[in-house]
Structure 1
Amino acid sequence: MKKLLLLVLSAFFSLPLLADWIRINQLGYAPHSCKVAVWCNKEQDTLKYFELVNARTGQVVFKHAAGRAAGAYGPFRQTSRLDFSSFTKTGQYYLQAGGAKSPVFSISDTVYKGTADFCLRYMRQQRNGFNPFLKDSCHTHDGFPVYGPDSVFVPVSGGWHDASDYLQYVTTSANATWHLLAAYRDFPKVFTDSLQANGLSGNNGIADVLDEAKWGLDWLVKMNPQDDRMYNQVGDDRDHQGMRIPRQDTNFYGRGLERPVYFCTGAPQGLLKYKNRSTGIASTAGKFSSCFALGTQLFAGLQSSYAATLRHKAKAAYELGMQHPGVCQTAPGRSPYFYEEDNWTDDMELAAASMGGPYLTDARTFARQEPVTPWLGQDTARHYQWYPFINPGHAELARLSKGAQRDTLMRYYKEGIERVWHKASQNAFYRGIPFIWCSNNLTVAFAIQCYWYRQLSGDDTYIQLEQACFDWIFGCNPWGTAMVYGLPQHGDTPADPHSSFTHLKQYPIDGGLVDGPVYTNIFRNLIGIQLQEADEYAEFQSDLAVYHDDYGDYSTNEPTMDGTAVLIYLLAAQENAAMSKGYTITQGGITRMDSSRKEIALVFTGDEFGEGLPHINNVLQQQQVKGSFFFTGNFYGNTRFQQPVKQLYANGHYLGPHSDKHLLYCDWQQRDSLLVSQQQFTADMQANLSKMQQLGIDTAKVHTYIPPYEWWNNSIAAWSAKMGLQIVCFTPGTGSNADYTYPQMGASYKSSEAILQSVKAFERNRPAKLNGVILLIHAGTDARRKDKFYLQLNTLIRYLKQQGYSFKKVDELVI
């Protein structure tokens, strides 16, 4: 309501209204992230420069030319991007440009700390069955089956309410469950344990995000009670008969407190006026299967019997999907609105990739059938027509693929991103997402696709587009408002959402992501919308799009459970990146240093071969460069290599472990499948460190290591952390790690000249060039490789110095 107050005061006192504004990410910015604001003007002025001001001292600490005049957008006649990414000092600041001054914001490694956990509050508040926020239960009588072969009661109480109504869909609940599971798998350090599984106070030894994911998993198990029984929905739009607290639901369906539970038939459904266009079961079956498969991996070491149940159900659900290809849409009733999902191969791809092993062939087949999610780059789509809004299957499959197969999947992601970028590059907000219903959900999903592409390909071409989507959600948009209830705490955030909790009881719905702006022509044609108060964002509405912080607008201001769950993944990724001080983190390991700095780490590994050590040592001494060396216990214990190792240590190079016996920690095809126990891992690493100590190496200063085969997962990273060790590894795409290959390996062989050109191409073609790159070279190779790349080390270092790079040891990379 802050802008409404300004409008009222301006009218009352005849004050001139503002003509320009600066839109920022109200959460703040991490020091090593992209930091961009947008200047907006209602005249046709242009901007030459902007200033960053220390909010405490009033001192200008950074002055820079404004971005090009980007022209009109929405309510504004002129806009410009203000890029201050190169400024990394922490503190409280504001921007000033033209006649505008931004709100104060933070630059800090902790700006996103706790935000993912904060949004979990909304998920818990949406719980069906026992609700820990209300400390009460609801919908315990669900439900009676419709369309199915049986007529007996189906016990499906649990899960989450979908939005501000109390409907429940596998479509959205499974997507939410998968993202919560993936968030914990990918960013375990981000989440805390402060609650019990039921959501009440008191920790239980399991991260709260995993407790919440299990709440969703448990409901999915109920909705898939037998191998040939699968339900898709609880309730229908007869639910929409006024606002009420969940426990106040009454007899809307003619069966007392029971609600209908829709059986998956693979045919069109709709008990009242309208019907959907269902053609099969696979879209729902694939969602069941992918959640069960990921749940199997995460609960295997926590609740083995539960994991076994999930493993069986993942396979059974997948087989049912294979038997009934097609989409299983949600069922409408008295109104024409439903989730019009028209794609299903993406769901089956994710399921097959999640199960891995023999299912990967299927996954690749499905990936080829929908390489690019169809809405990407389009101006419109039907409601939830292409859902989930991106294809996580490509990322899951890419993690299990190498070479050309991996490159193909990244090309699919890149093509989709390019389609959006083609539109986004034309405006200052870098906005290429259509303003259809739930545009915020599309925005956070697309930001995750950009993130996965960047992480898996090493290509950061689209990092500003990725960040712009994130910034949009937290205030860098025409309305200057964050789109998450209560986040940030002192920001401009939704105050009057379309929610019974806030409207009837004034309960806060902390962490809920609202639907977001829609095209103005969509808003004007929706049924039953009537604003309840004066529009505090009136001066920022336009013929392009509208957003209202008003209970009466269910199209732009209704929070959704699935959008919030996807945002939780994105927030966890942001917090993890901020914690990582600008490093690129893959499965808990550092695979690139700060890409804003012209620094490179040269790392060397060895197990059975080490004939190149004397030459490597001499070159490093001549060039006055320090390197980092990681050897196995086999290597440290080999008398042929002990004198060169001692010389390296004496010369000030870093020496670390590489596992004692060069163990393979996890499956090549299914990375989450461990091949060692924690006890085996710990014993092997301790043996490696012991052999280092025998050579006089002070292992108290050893805090980083490279895993054997350069292959690990989050579990290995967590076990490493408990030993005080941080995983580091080479930067993907640089190509130097291929120096172990030899001609008899066929197409895999890379000559030293090809490797050198690969490094130069990386420097030439990547936006961040070789900044922060970790280059891996083997200390020795199989005798069948005559063309030793370590003999090119002098040439490589001279080239890197000519490009202006300095060199860093990895012992400085502990996070």
Structure 2
Amino acid sequence: MPGLRWLCSTWCLLAVLAADAAADDQAAPPTAPSIRLNTIGYLPGKPMVATVAAVTTDGGKYQIRRLRDGAVVWEGDLSAPQPNADTGEQLATADFTKLAPAAGEYEIVLVDSGERTRFHVAENLYHEPFRVATRAMYLWRCGMPVSGDHQGAHFEHGPCHLEDAYLDHVGGGHVQRASVGGWHDAGDYNKYVVNAAATVGMMFRAWEDFGPAIQQIKLDIPPTDSKLPEFLAEIKWELDWLLTMQADDGSVYHKVSALNFGGLIASDRDSDPRYLAPWSSAATAAFTATMAQAARLYAPYDATFADRCRAAALRSAEFLRKHPEDHEADQSAFNTGGYHAPDGDDRLWAAAEVWETTGDAAALAELEERLAAHPNFDVDWDWQHLKNLGLLTYLFSEREGRNPELLERLHKGVIAAADETVAAAASHGYARPFTKYYWGCNGTVARQATGLEAAYRLSGNEAYRHAMLDGLNHLFGRNCFGRSFVTGLGGQPPLFPHDRQSAGDAVAAPWPGYLVGGPNPKATDWSDATEDYRTNEIAINWNGALIYALASQLLPVDHSATSR
């Protein structure tokens, strides 16, 4: 199943049976408001649209009022209600884009019913959400004490998992190989190389596309490396752990994990022994890509670390050349996340990053062969389909020697995928730019921003950037629940995510900045309940996608259209 991360233990199976009852007892949601909009707000000069449910057959009128003086600054007609197939609702829209209001506080009012909802307009609208979502990666750190404050609540845990990890299941006996650090993967505390690489790859893509804007945001993360920008310093915490996962021969262990998923306790009270899992070719290839990209991005700031990453990438690249088979890790001893997927996409991404970093002709030949076989840009992708990351590196490279015919095919593929995404948003009552619902689909909604941004840079078509905002609008409240899907941000955010840290501490509020997985398998199937990991878990790969989407809106970006 797309996005499935868990091989359920007995505890998980019991949780499934308890989820419905827990949703009723723990988090009975308020009735969704009729007016559903981005509860973070809107950017001046960008599309401003709300969805309205439960309206009369002729729609009705609405007003936009400025709160500071009560003035009606806009009055319009709701669109005629249309059926929305995936939610089963009749939905109208209120489009007040032409109002182009100045920064400030406003409310939309339904004239017939008097129902109203406030919204905010600001140039720096996404600065705070970006800061909170990125700082959430710091709060996910394993192996050290972390702390932070948000909206009057204080969050902290002590050092955790300091004995990572034992070699019992990789032929080394009950001996520890130091693998402390990194980020906890999700609602559980294990650490998986494939998903770590996917997350770092998304954050690196954000840095490559929006680095100057990112550097202007103070992330409020305690300094760990003064030589680095805060954003790269946080990613380095994960890279330092990933480097411990490389064996001497260049292969890469698949994960660090307990044998079973533990209970809902704080990380610094989790004492289950944790073990290395055997190597996999997918983990090795994803590691290779990550380290090759890191070698480029860290070189201006820390040449020694960049050289270390480069050497690690080349060692694993050589191992992959000697082992062309798709090799799955033997995880028979584990009942935790498998992260099984064919390694072709990971090898493509690895070839792209090795070539971009080194100019290696063999890597370019492999990359172009793999791209020629799969030239389309995938609309639906996550940790198990990382080809797009390699495709974007090749497409926007400034190195010489690329195949012009292949470049043209890739260019068309990116535009076609973006057009599909725009069409999906245009035909949906909530302008949701993705049509599927599965485990972690909220992350995929956010991840659409990568293809849309690439298409915008290739064409200059503003419709692609508008669709990027449609995704954020949906995640922050323009959905059938009328609620934000990110803890601690927006209106009525999740209070009970499936997260052992939030459930296991003494603070009532959940740890902030985490995107929950979202409705699955239907658009209306989401419950804000701790036990409902199927729809309400958190995960680093979903946050990585959210960070990219938020970074895209930090500052107005004026890119010259290019078809390099």
Q: TM-score, normalised by structure 1?
A: 0.58
Task: Tell me if 1:261 matches 2:276.
Answer: yes
Which residue is equivalent to 1:55?
Answer: 67
The letter of the residue matching 2:540 is M
Task: Tell me if 1:233 matches 2:235.
Answer: no
The answer as to whether partners of 1:193 and 1:204 remain within 8 angstroms in 2 is no
Which residue is equivalent to 1:110?
Answer: 124
Task: Tell me if 1:365 matches 2:369.
Answer: yes
CA distance in 2, matches of 1:100, 1:360: 62
The letter of the residue matching 1:570 is A
Choose which of 47, 60, 71 in structure 2 pairs with 1:34.
Answer: 47
Task: Tell me if 1:299 matches 2:298.
Answer: yes
Q: SS of the counterpart of 2:228? A: coil
The alpha-carbon distance between structure 1 residues 406 and 107, as it changes in their structure 2 partners (threshold 3 A), is farther
The alpha-carbon distance between structure 1 residues 107 and 195, as it changes in their structure 2 partners (threshold 3 A), is closer
CA distance in 2, matches of 1:454, 1:146: 50
Task: Tell me if 1:200 matches 2:222.
Answer: yes
The alpha-carbon distance between structure 1 residues 372 and 4, as it changes in their structure 2 partners (threshold 3 A), is farther
Task: Tell me if 1:339 matches 2:339.
Answer: yes
CA distance in 1, matches of 2:300, 2:197: 22
Which residue is equivalent to 2:19?
Answer: none
The letter of the residue matching 1:341 is A
Matches within 5 A, 1:663-742: 731-732=561-562
1:775-795 superposed Cα distances (whole Å, 9 cap, x missing partner): xxxxxxxxxxxxxxxxxxxxx
CA distance in 1, matches of 2:304, 2:334: 43
Which residue is equivalent to 1:140?
Answer: 162
The alpha-carbon distance between structure 1 residues 118 and 337, as it changes in their structure 2 partners (threshold 3 A), is closer
1:216 Cα deviation after fit:
0.9
1:340 Cα deviation after fit:
4.1
The answer as to whether partners of 2:250 and 2:312 remain within 8 angstroms in 1 is no
The alpha-carbon distance between structure 1 residues 101 and 335, as it changes in their structure 2 partners (threshold 3 A), is farther
The letter of the residue matching 1:261 is L
Which residue is equivalent to 1:162?
Answer: 185
Which residue is equivalent to 1:453?
Answer: 455
Q: SS of the counterpart of 1:105? A: strand
The alpha-carbon distance between structure 1 residues 556 and 478, as it changes in their structure 2 partners (threshold 3 A), is same
Matches within 5 A, 1:230-629: 230-236=252-258, 238=260, 240-251=261-272, 257=273, 259-264=274-279, 266=280, 281=281, 283-322=282-321, 323-326=323-326, 328=328, 331=331, 338-342=338-342, 344-355=343-354, 356=356, 357=359, 358=361, 359-372=363-376, 376=380, 386-388=384-386, 391-400=388-397, 404-420=405-421, 423-431=424-432, 432-488=434-490, 491-507=491-507, 508-520=510-522, 544-575=523-554, 579-580=555-556, 583-585=557-559, 591=560
The answer as to whether partners of 1:236 and 1:333 remain within 8 angstroms in 2 is no
Report how many aligned residue pairs link the two structures.
Answer: 516
The letter of the residue matching 1:556 is T
The alpha-carbon distance between structure 1 residues 44 and 64, as it changes in their structure 2 partners (threshold 3 A), is closer
The answer as to whether partners of 1:413 and 1:453 remain within 8 angstroms in 2 is yes
Deviates more, 1:242-251 or 1:328-337: 328-337
Q: Between Structure 1 and Structure 2, whose CA radius of gyration is higher? A: 1
1:756-815 superposed Cα distances (whole Å, 9 cap, x missing partner): xxxxxxxxxxxxxxxxxxxxxxxxxxxxxxxxxxxxxxxxxxxxxxxxxxxxxxxxxxxx
CA distance in 2, matches of 1:45, 1:186: 45
What is the RMSD computed on CA atoms of the aligned residues? 3.3
1:262 Cα deviation after fit:
0.8
1:219 Cα deviation after fit:
0.9
The answer as to whether partners of 1:349 and 1:393 remain within 8 angstroms in 2 is yes
Looking at both structures, which has the greater relative contact order when contacts are Cα pairs under 8 Å and sequence separation is at least 6? 2
CA distance in 2, matches of 1:433, 1:510: 27
The letter of the residue matching 1:59 is A
The letter of the residue matching 2:264 is M
Matches within 5 A, 1:169-180: 169-180=192-203
The answer as to whether partners of 2:443 and 2:517 remain within 8 angstroms in 1 is yes
The alpha-carbon distance between structure 1 residues 8 and 319, as it changes in their structure 2 partners (threshold 3 A), is closer
Task: Tell me if 1:190 matches 2:214.
Answer: yes
Q: SS of the counterpart of 2:40? A: coil
Choose which of 102, 106, 111 in structure 2 pairs with 1:93.
Answer: 106
Q: TM-score, normalised by structure 2?
A: 0.82
Which segments of 5 or more consecutive residues in structure 1 lack a partner in the other structure?
10-16, 252-256, 267-280, 521-543, 586-590, 592-730, 736-815
The letter of the residue matching 1:60 is V
The alpha-carbon distance between structure 1 residues 31 and 405, as it changes in their structure 2 partners (threshold 3 A), is farther
Q: SS of the counterpart of 1:86? A: helix
The letter of the residue matching 2:241 is W
1:149 Cα deviation after fit:
5.1
Matches within 5 A, 1:781-800: none
Q: SS of the counterpart of 1:518? A: coil
1:654-688 superposed Cα distances (whole Å, 9 cap, x missing partner): xxxxxxxxxxxxxxxxxxxxxxxxxxxxxxxxxxx
Deviates more, 1:161-170 or 1:426-435: 426-435
Which residue is equivalent to 1:700?
Answer: none
CA distance in 1, matches of 2:415, 2:512: 34
The alpha-carbon distance between structure 1 residues 407 and 190, as it changes in their structure 2 partners (threshold 3 A), is same
Which segments of 5 or more consecutive residues in structure 2 lack a partner in the other structure?
1-23, 148-155
The letter of the residue matching 2:240 is D
CA distance in 1, matches of 2:43, 2:268: 42
The alpha-carbon distance between structure 1 residues 425 and 112, as it changes in their structure 2 partners (threshold 3 A), is closer
The alpha-carbon distance between structure 1 residues 153 and 470, as it changes in their structure 2 partners (threshold 3 A), is same
The letter of the residue matching 1:175 is A
The answer as to whether partners of 1:175 and 1:562 remain within 8 angstroms in 2 is yes
CA distance in 2, matches of 1:8, 1:306: 48
Q: SS of the counterpart of 2:553? A: helix
The alpha-carbon distance between structure 1 residues 430 and 318, as it changes in their structure 2 partners (threshold 3 A), is farther
Choose which of 214, 222, 236 in structure 2 pairs with 1:214.
Answer: 236
The answer as to whether partners of 2:190 and 2:258 remain within 8 angstroms in 1 is yes
The answer as to whether partners of 1:169 and 1:232 remain within 8 angstroms in 2 is yes
CA distance in 2, matches of 1:395, 1:6: 41
1:695-754 superposed Cα distances (whole Å, 9 cap, x missing partner): xxxxxxxxxxxxxxxxxxxxxxxxxxxxxxxxxxxx437x9xxxxxxxxxxxxxxxxxxx
CA distance in 1, matches of 2:372, 2:114: 49
CA distance in 2, matches of 1:284, 1:207: 27
CA distance in 1, matches of 2:319, 2:243: 15
The alpha-carbon distance between structure 1 residues 154 and 408, as it changes in their structure 2 partners (threshold 3 A), is same
